[in-house]
């Protein structure tokens, strides 16, 4: 059953070369390929266009619509979820600009929205983004902090672990290993508090003096924990 | 924080060493005051003198002679795990120790594009009464039929997929119509439609499991 | 003829231990003021620097790109300085230490006051802001140089410097 609004949008889609379809043809095409009916495509495209105009990322909204359709969720409930999602993205964007990030990139906004839905507060999101050297690292950091929190590590500690790891130069894909390591520790029977502590220590010191057939003891007074970005093995150069 | 006045972008350019241009007087005054303060501060700071070098070299000379490292060192170091066909069923303790002690090579310090890593991840579900089981998620555009799983003894269904590192959300689809999250995942997220997706965050080391 | 960092590192790894002193001399000068600003105390900073050099020597075989020894060492030094600063703060009043470690002449007093305010203001920045601000305003580095040293993007560095400046502006206004 097609309502009047959907009918109008359908006409718009069919008739207007610019506007919705012109702005994001790939997203519209993606929805069609996945079998979404035209009326739903039109409505989602409208929300996506609104989001883009507000400086919010459109991709996550479209993906959510595709997910809903795949799960056989009725169209009106899909639209309800998309609207809610857009509001959460808006709130995340405000949280970022509120902590001093003037023009946050789409992927960072999306990651922040998800992190906030998973329990991180505005200040915590700000702390992760502040410590990140690049926007990509910010997105990764937020996902990892949220995943660690989901393992039972408190959000403050999870954020602390991520921030510390990034300060130690682990801002790239290695950061993404943390949740899996936490999971393994948990399978070993460690309590979340212990896991948090181990990751906090381990996130800074990937090996110190004396590991393997190394040389050098620790000078008196030097605190434990080795230099941060020490990749053992894999040396390309020959001394 | 929002009550604090921020320097304008013109003031920042001035503070970066540019001309003062049309800065309002008050802002110019504040910027100059900051620069004066920094000058005073900086003048009071001198790098540590050659005594530091002597102290370092005194310690360094005491170190045992460096052994040649070419060729055999790799025998003793745990190797990073990449692209194993099935996740390595390491004892969790060994896996944890490996991660803490011997991380895979860190990238260059210089800002370069992130490496694109793919890791194999195994999905598994116990469903003895199911006719078909598939896994669907953000990595498959939520297609319910893209990755059908194989049934093993005891009603265990499984599949191993190459996934890019990062975050993925997924559910299992039983008999083509029943969508369920992964009962063994500790990380679940509301899907917005009344259900929950399982979340997997995976790095270059893959899924470290016991 | 001056040896490049990479050449020195390779020779040290080959056994020419004395040559490590060349790197110490170079980076003592290049990063010394940065270390002092980060730590907030001259003596503690010298200790931190010494420890950082020794760490670097002990792990020299793990420096994957000897030609970029500077950036690698910069990271080690930065971490050491943060650790030292944290420990100092945990055990004593930072401004008291700072005042005591400076020799005060009469002419210095007024200048010292401004200095002390800056030191106090630096204390209130985040670690990343402090690093970036010191590189910019104590060492006078360009953003490109800073990006090269730290592996952080220029935009992120600019943001940190800008926010540090705003923070210091507020502090100066409050105290003067």
Q: DSSP letters along B97-159, please?
A: HHHHH-PPPP--SS--PPP--EEEEEEEEE-TT-S-EEEEEGGGTT-SSSSBPEEEGGGEEEE
Q: Does C7 touch chain B (CB under 8 A)?
A: no
- pLDDT tens for A46-64 read 999 999 999 999 999 999 9
ipTM: 0.86
pTM of the model: 0.63
Structure tokens at A213: 């057939």
Parallel, antiparallel, or unpaired: how do β-strands B196-202 and B166-174 relate? antiparallel
**Crossing angle for the helix pair A155-167 and A192-202, nearest 10 degrees?**
10
Between CA B192 and CA A212 the distance in angstroms is: 50
Written as one string, the DSSP assignment of A87-131 is: HHHHHHHHHHHHTT-SS--HHHHHHHHHHHHTT--HHHHHHHHHH
**Chain A residues within 8 A (CB-CB) of chain C?**
100-101, 130-135, 167-169, 171, 204, 209, 214-216, 219, 221-223, 225-232, 234-237, 239
| A173 secondary structure, DSSP code | G
Chain A positions touching B136 (Cβ under 8 A) are 70
Q: What are phi and psi of B84, to 5 degrees?
A: -75, 145
- Residue A24 pLDDT > 80, yes or no? no
Mean pLDDT in residue range A114-122: 95
CB-based burial, C86-119: b 16+ in 10 Å, e otherwise: eebeeeeebeebbeeebeeeeeeeebbebbbbbb
Task: Evaluate whether C75 touches B109 at the Cβ level (below 8 Å).
Answer: yes
- pLDDT tens for A135-158 read 899 999 999 999 999 988 999 999
pLDDT value, residue C172: 85
pLDDT value, residue A22: 53
Residue with structure tokens 């510390």? A164
Structural element, H or E, at residue B167: strand B166-174
Task: Evaluate whether A229 touches A169 at the Cβ level (below 8 Å).
Answer: yes
pLDDT value, residue B37: 86
pLDDT value, residue A118: 94
Of A131, A133, A239, the CB nearest to C61: A239
Of B6, B33, B55, the CB nearest to C50: B55
CB within 8 Å: C13 and A239:
yes
pLDDT value, residue C105: 52
CB within 8 Å: B47 and C29:
yes
pLDDT value, residue A14: 56
Task: Evaluate whether B15 touches B35 at the Cβ level (below 8 Å).
Answer: yes
Q: Does B65 touch chain C (CB under 8 A)?
A: yes
* Residue A51, helix vs strand vs coil: helix
Q: Which residue of B has its CA nearest to A73?
A: B193
Mean pLDDT in residue range C16-40: 93
* Residue A165, helix vs strand vs coil: helix
Structure tokens at A165: 């790891």
Task: Evaluate whether C54 touches B59 at the Cβ level (below 8 Å).
Answer: yes
pLDDT in tens, chain B (210 residues): 445 678 999 999 999 988 888 899 999 998 998 998 898 888 888 999 999 999 999 999 988 877 654 444 444 444 444 433 333 333 333 444 433 333 333 433 333 333 457 888 999 999 999 999 999 999 999 999 889 999 988 899 999 998 999 999 999 999 999 999 999 898 999 999 999 999 999 988 888 754
pLDDT value, residue B4: 66
Reported confidence tier of residue C137, pLDDT bands at 50, 70, 90? very high
Q: Which residue of A has its CA nearest to C161?
A: A130
Nearest to B186 by CA among A56, C156, A150: A150
| B73 secondary structure, DSSP code | G
Residue with structure tokens 């690049």? A134
3-state SS, one letter per residue, for chain C:
CCCCHHHHHHHHHHCCHHHHHHHHHHHHHHHHHHHHHHHCCHHHHHHHHHHHHHHHHHCHHHCCCHHHHHHHHHHHHHHHHHHHHHHHHHHCCHHHHHHHHCCCCHHHHHHHHHHHHHHHHHHCCCHHHHHHHHHHHCCCCCHHHHHHHHCCCHHHHHHHHHHHHHHHHHHHHHHC
Chain B positions touching C172 (Cβ under 8 A) are 30, 33-34, 37
Between CA A209 and CA A224 the distance in angstroms is: 9
Task: Evaluate whether C42 touches C36 at the Cβ level (below 8 Å).
Answer: yes
Between CA B199 and CA B201 the distance in angstroms is: 7
pLDDT value, residue A53: 92
Structural element, H or E, at residue A162: helix A155-167
C45 CB neighbour count, 10 Å cutoff: 28
């Amino acid at each position: 059953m097609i309502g009047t609004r959907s009918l109008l949008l359908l006409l718009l889609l069919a008739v207007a070369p610019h506007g919705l379809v012109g702005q994001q043809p790939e997203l519209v095409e993606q929805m069609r390929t996945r079998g979404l009916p035209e009326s739903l495509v039109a409505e989602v495209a409208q929300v996506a266009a609104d989001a883009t105009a507000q400086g919010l990322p459109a991709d996550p909204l479209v993906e959510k619509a595709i997910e809903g359709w795949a799960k056989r969720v009725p169209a009106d409930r899909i639209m309800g979820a998309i609207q809610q999602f857009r509001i959460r993205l808006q709130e995340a964007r405000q949280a970022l600009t509120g902590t001093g990030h003037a023009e946050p990139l789409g992927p960072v906004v999306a990651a922040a929205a998800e992190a906030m839905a998973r329990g991180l507060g505005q200040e915590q999101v700000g702390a992760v983004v502040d410590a990140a050297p690049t926007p990509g690292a910010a997105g990764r950091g937020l996902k990892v902090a949220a995943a660690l929190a989901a393992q039972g590590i408190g959000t403050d500690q999870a954020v602390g672990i991520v921030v510390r790891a990034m300060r130690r130069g682990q801002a790239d894909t290695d950061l993404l290993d943390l949740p899996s390591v936490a999971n393994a520790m948990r399978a070993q029977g460690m309590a979340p508090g212990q896991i948090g502590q181990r990751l906090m220590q381990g996130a800074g010191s990937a090996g110190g003096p004396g590991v393997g057939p190394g040389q050098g003891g620790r000078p008196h007074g030097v605190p434990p924990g080795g230099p941060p970005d020490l990749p053992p093995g894999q040396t390309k150069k020959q001394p | 924080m929002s009550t604090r006045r921020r320097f304008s972008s013109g003031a920042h350019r001035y503070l970066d060493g540019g001309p003062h241009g049309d800065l309002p007087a008050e802002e110019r005054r504040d910027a100059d005051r900051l620069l004066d303060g920094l000058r005073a501060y900086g003048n009071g700071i001198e790098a540590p003198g050659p005594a530091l070098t002597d102290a370092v070299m005194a310690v360094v000379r005491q170190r045992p002679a460096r052994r040649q490292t070419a060729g055999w060192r790799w025998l003793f170091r745990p190797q990073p795990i990449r692209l194993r066909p099935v996740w390595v069923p390491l004892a969790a303790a060994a896996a944890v120790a490996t991660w803490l002690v011997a991380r895979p090579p860190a990238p260059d310090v210089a800002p370069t594009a992130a490496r694109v890593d793919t890791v194999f991840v195994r999905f598994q579900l116990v469903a003895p009464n199911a006719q078909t089981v598939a896994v669907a998620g953000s990595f498959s555009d939520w297609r319910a039929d893209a990755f059908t799983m194989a049934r093993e003894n005891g009603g265990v269904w499984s599949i191993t997929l190459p996934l890019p590192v990062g975050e993925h959300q997924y559910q299992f689809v039983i008999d083509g119509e029943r969508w369920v999250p992964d009962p063994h995942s500790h990380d679940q997220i509301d899907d917005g439609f009344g259900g929950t997706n399982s979340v997997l965050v995976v790095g270059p080391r893959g899924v470290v499991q016991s | 003829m001056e040896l490049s960092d990479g050449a020195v590192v390779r020779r040290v790894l080959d056994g020419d231990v004395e040559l490590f002193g060349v790197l110490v001399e170079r980076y003592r000068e290049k990063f010394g003021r940065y270390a002092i600003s980060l730590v907030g105390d001259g003596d503690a900073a010298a200790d931190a620097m010494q420890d950082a050099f020794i760490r670097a020597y002990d792990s020299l075989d793990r420096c994957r790109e000897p030609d970029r020894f500077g950036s690698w060492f910069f990271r080690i030094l930065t971490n050491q300085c943060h650790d030292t600063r944290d420990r100092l703060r945990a055990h004593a009043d930072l401004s008291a230490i700072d005042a005591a470690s400076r020799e005060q002449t009469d002419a210095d007093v007024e200048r010292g006051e401004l200095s002390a305010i800056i030191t106090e203001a630096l204390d209130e920045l985040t670690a990343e802001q402090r690093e970036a601000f010191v590189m910019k305003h104590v060492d006078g580095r360009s953003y490109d140089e800073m990006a090269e040293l730290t592996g952080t993007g220029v935009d992120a560095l600019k943001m940190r410097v800008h926010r540090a400046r705003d923070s210091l502006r507020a502090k100066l206004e409050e105290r003067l």
